[in-house]
Amino acid sequence: MVVRTLLKSGAAAVLSLTFVASALGYQQPAHQAMTVAAAGQSVLSTSSSILPLLQCSSPYPDNNACSLAYVQGAMGQAAYDEDDGKRGLAHFFDAQNGGAPGSIALNMFNPLDAQICAYLHQNFDLIYTSKSSICIYGTPVTFTSKASSEDWILSDSSLWQLSPFFHPDLPLFNCDTENPVPSDAYCDYVLAKSQLVLALTAPSPLARQLAGTTLFFNLGHVLHHIQDQAQPQHVRNDSHCDFPICQTFAQVGLPNALGAPSAYEAYTGVAVPASIALFTQLAANGPMPLNVLPGATSSTPTFALPTDFWSTGGTPPNLFGIGMSEFASYNFLSVGTGPTIGKNSLTPDPAHPQPSQFSQVLEEHVCTATVAGIPAPSGPELYLTGSVIDQLGAGPATSGSYQSYSNVLLGTISAPSLSELATRGLSTNPHWTATQNCVTYDRAMYLLVPQAIRYSAWFIDFMFRGSISATLTADGTLSITNNSQSETLTGGYPQLYADDGSGVRSPAGGTCAVDIPPGATVTCVVAPLPAPAPPSGNYLLVYTGTLGQEAQQVAYTSVAAPKSWDANADFSVNSNPNGPWTYLEDRTAMQAHPTSLPPGLEGWSSGLPVPDAMVIIKNITNSTITQSTRVLVPGLLVLDPEADVVAVSFTAPMAGTYNVQGKFTGADSVGNPHPVEIWLNAQPDPLWDADVLGPGDAESFTLLSLTLSAGDTLYFQVDTGFEGVACTYCYLSTGFDATITLAPQ
């Protein structure tokens, strides 16, 4: 259906009124079939990184997974529902007139028009602020729709709820109220994008499942609009009415200003669901592949904005752009916008001058389907033929790169009767009007329906085109690659998320602002990472920002939690704990930094004066540094217990089998014997122990196939004393190195 808005100037104010003309585009089963086919040909089917990271909920239970079958069902149902009740009010986009939603004149003196107004008022409760009927009896008036298809479905449709043209209590633009989405939900592209973010980042599993379901319902409604742009009446402002009252008028032969029921929709409503496998094959085997956005280059994507799926505008030598609306409007005729053919002339519809190049052929054809009320030829008929140009047939819309289908039957010529000619006189130049029958509907259908499937699949690809991959190291360095070859990710903040054992999702680590050019890799330090890591062993990375020219886009991927840790390489003085590592005085995390360290040294301390100034320090230069009697080689941690105990602990971020290797080394030029140990949790005995006997003495350790649960903690400890002999604050600095790896499962 299409919204028609009257703007009438008055002395006191400008009144805005609305009526409705039914315009279902393709019939509901056809939309459902095309949407299911498109999803099966899109990245939802071919990518292994989109649906597996999402969850969905009833009414299509599939273990809460957004499987392909699930989303096909949800999107297909939503595409079906878009024509329910008052949802189908803005499905027109007149591509040859700047995307205008169209207009129509009503003569309120006409009793049939008056009946239609009364019907609309009774069945749709359409009123304006004076609480009176929308029907104004007077001179003929022109109604213009409030929103084109593009405006309606790509913008925030909740804004239309504020329109003064409808009763404020009507849930006019609610969608899918019978499905598990909020009753005040609006169906549009804006909501689909916001629901994708929620489906990825909402804390509770239930909220993410609901958002995943709402995402695909909304996307299904968007696809309905794209498919309607493949119906010539919808892109040539050819009004048609499928309300019961209009069908009744048509059955008894009465005209009405809103137009007759659409014969093309009735015809495709039978033929498309019955032959959807064939149309799907035609879509998949067409000139352009479905699994990638067509024609994308390293600098310019074919579809840069969602509006491009409607119209992009033509540049010479191409007559029109690459939008679906343009393809249908510039290439095809509709029953009410065909040219008038005179004896020696052909005059296109004034508002729709294209197509304009025709030939005439006398041919006999049969139709795919038989539908009551749709003309079927009983013999040869005179047809108009022309060329259909697909601007994406051979690549991006650049000079000469299009596919042309020649000799397409675009209309049939209906000659006036002999009695009409006699009435006008033989000298009158006879004229014929190009119209449609089942043959021309067939020819249009076999080009338009595959395009509707193809563009629907491309739009799904477009929505999920944000593609990144990433790796994460134990020190919290996140390396992110933009997999797009044509669009930059800008103004975004990558954020890791982790699920706990109950599925509750929360941010993990920090973030940073990064721009990522096409094909480039950038790094972002997100430390400290929490321990333990997610039970699954994977984080979810979500990047929200601008993709190419489109703001509020999202790209996401799974990121494996680090499975190898190095005590020296991972060391940080910025946080304690630092991921799985903690720097301890006895069993308490140090919070102070040593004072009076020479340049090149950094670390943690107890913050106490000697002899209790326990420290863990690191030489961050490339040369050995001597501090008093400590000898610090480059890159090696040095632990000094002074008069107590100092340790570095490692908390297992996930359950598994670990291998632990390293050594303790005397790092004091004087040095005294002292014990070193490795403890697990609060067990009474160490897993490993040894004595460092003096300067340079290295005690290596290897613990293989160590089974740890998430949260288990290993303590690498340096003690005072030796074999019962007290030795505190007595040159005990000890080098420490450890590498821990999670064995493959």
Look at 6-20, 354-368, 646-660 and tell me which has the smallest mean pLDDT: 6-20
Return the H-helix or E-strand segment holding 35: helix 28-40
Sequential DSSP letters for 153-176 = HHS-GGGGGG-TTS-TTS-TTB--
- Is residue 382 scored above 80 in pLDDT? yes
Residues 6+ apart with CB under 8 A from 422: none
pLDDT score, position 460 = 95
- Is residue 173 scored above 50 in pLDDT? no
Q: What are 572's two structure tokens?
A: 């940080």
- Is residue 510 scored above 80 in pLDDT? yes
Q: What are 444's two structure tokens?
A: 């249009």
Contact criterion met (CB below 8 Å) for 145 and 99: no
pLDDT score, position 103 = 56
pLDDT score, position 545 = 94
**Alpha-carbon distance values, 45 to 36, 131, 450 (Å):** 11, 51, 18
- Is residue 377 scored above 50 in pLDDT? yes
- Is residue 36 scored above 80 in pLDDT? yes
pLDDT score, position 561 = 86
**Beta-carbon count within 10 A of 336 CB:** 19
Contact criterion met (CB below 8 Å) for 652 and 532: yes
Q: How far apart are CA 50 and CA 55, in angstroms?
A: 11
More confident residue, 141 or 415: 415
pLDDT score, position 681 = 96
pLDDT score, position 239 = 80
pLDDT score, position 369 = 82
> In percent, how much of the chain has pLDDT > 90?
41
Q: How far apart are CA 20 and CA 123, in angstroms?
A: 11
Query: Helix, strand or coil for residue 196?
Result: helix
pLDDT score, position 116 = 65
pLDDT score, position 317 = 55
Sequential DSSP letters for 252-299 = TT---TT----HHHHHHHHHHHHTHHHHHHHHHTSSS-SSS-TT--SS
Across residues 85-114, what is the average pLDDT?
A: 68
Is residue 65 very low, low, confident or very high in pLDDT (cuts 50, 70, 90)?
confident
Is residue 699 very low, low, confident or very high in pLDDT (cuts 50, 70, 90)?
very high
Q: How far apart are CA 374 and CA 141, in angstroms?
A: 31
Is residue 137 very low, low, confident or very high in pLDDT (cuts 50, 70, 90)?
very low
pLDDT digits (tens, 9 = 90+) for 543-561: 999 999 999 999 999 998 8
pLDDT score, position 465 = 92
Is residue 279 very low, low, confident or very high in pLDDT (cuts 50, 70, 90)?
confident
- Is residue 291 scored above 70 in pLDDT? no
| Cis? peptide before 317, omega within 30° of 0 | yes
Contact criterion met (CB below 8 Å) for 186 and 48: no
pLDDT digits (tens, 9 = 90+) for 318-375: 678 889 999 999 999 998 898 988 767 788 999 999 998 888 888 888 888 888 778 7
Is residue 119 very low, low, confident or very high in pLDDT (cuts 50, 70, 90)?
low
pLDDT digits (tens, 9 = 90+) for 701-738: 999 999 999 889 999 999 987 666 667 778 999 999 99
N- to C-terminal Cα separation, the chain: 57
Q: What are 580's two structure tokens?
A: 């799985």
pLDDT score, position 248 = 72
Query: Helix, strand or coil for residue 519?
Result: coil
Is residue 127 very low, low, confident or very high in pLDDT (cuts 50, 70, 90)?
very low
Q: How far apart are CA 629 and CA 348, in angstroms?
A: 98
Largest CA distance in the chain: 132
- Of 114, 306, 174, the closest CA to residue 229 belongs to 306
- Is residue 172 scored above 60 in pLDDT? no
Residues 6+ apart with CB under 8 A from 248: none
- Is residue 34 scored above 70 in pLDDT? yes
Q: How far apart are CA 528 and CA 241, in angstroms?
A: 62
DSSP bridge partners of 469: 481
State how beta strands 381-390 and 359-363 pair.
Answer: antiparallel
Query: Helix, strand or coil for residue 122?
Result: helix
pLDDT score, position 182 = 35
Q: What's 31's DSSP letter?
A: H
pTM: 0.78
- Is residue 175 scored above 70 in pLDDT? no
- Is residue 608 scored above 80 in pLDDT? yes
Is residue 8 very low, low, confident or very high in pLDDT (cuts 50, 70, 90)?
very low
Query: Helix, strand or coil for residue 657?
Result: strand
Across residues 287-316, what is the average pLDDT?
A: 68
pLDDT digits (tens, 9 = 90+) for 467-497: 999 999 877 889 999 999 889 999 999 999 9
pLDDT mean across residues, the chain: 79
Across residues 439-457, what is the average pLDDT?
A: 92
How does 546-566 read in b/e, with b if 16+ C-beta sit within 10 Å?
bbbebeebbbbbebebbbebb
Across residues 671-684, what is the average pLDDT?
A: 94
State how beta strands 538-547 and 625-627 pair.
Answer: unpaired
Return the H-helix or E-strand segment holding 248: helix 244-251
More confident residue, 264 or 299: 264
- The set of long-range contacts for 335-338, using a CB threshold of 8 Å and a minimum separation of 24, is 335/233, 335/238, 335/263, 335/264, 335/435, 335/436, 336/233, 336/236, 336/238, 336/239, 336/240, 336/259, 337/232, 337/236, 337/237, 337/238, 338/384, 338/411, 338/433, 338/434, 338/435, 338/436
Across residues 531-538, what is the average pLDDT?
A: 76
702 burial type by CB count under 10 A (0-12 exposed, 13-18 middle, 19+ buried): exposed
Residues 6+ apart with CB under 8 A from 13: none
- Of 263, 216, 235, 437, the closest CA to residue 328 belongs to 235
Please provide the size of the chain in residues.
745
Is residue 71 very low, low, confident or very high in pLDDT (cuts 50, 70, 90)?
very high
Sequential DSSP letters for 359-422 = EEEEE----S---TTS---SS-EEEEEEEEEETTTTSSSSTT--EEEEEEEEEEEEPPPHHHHH
- Is residue 70 scored above 50 in pLDDT? yes
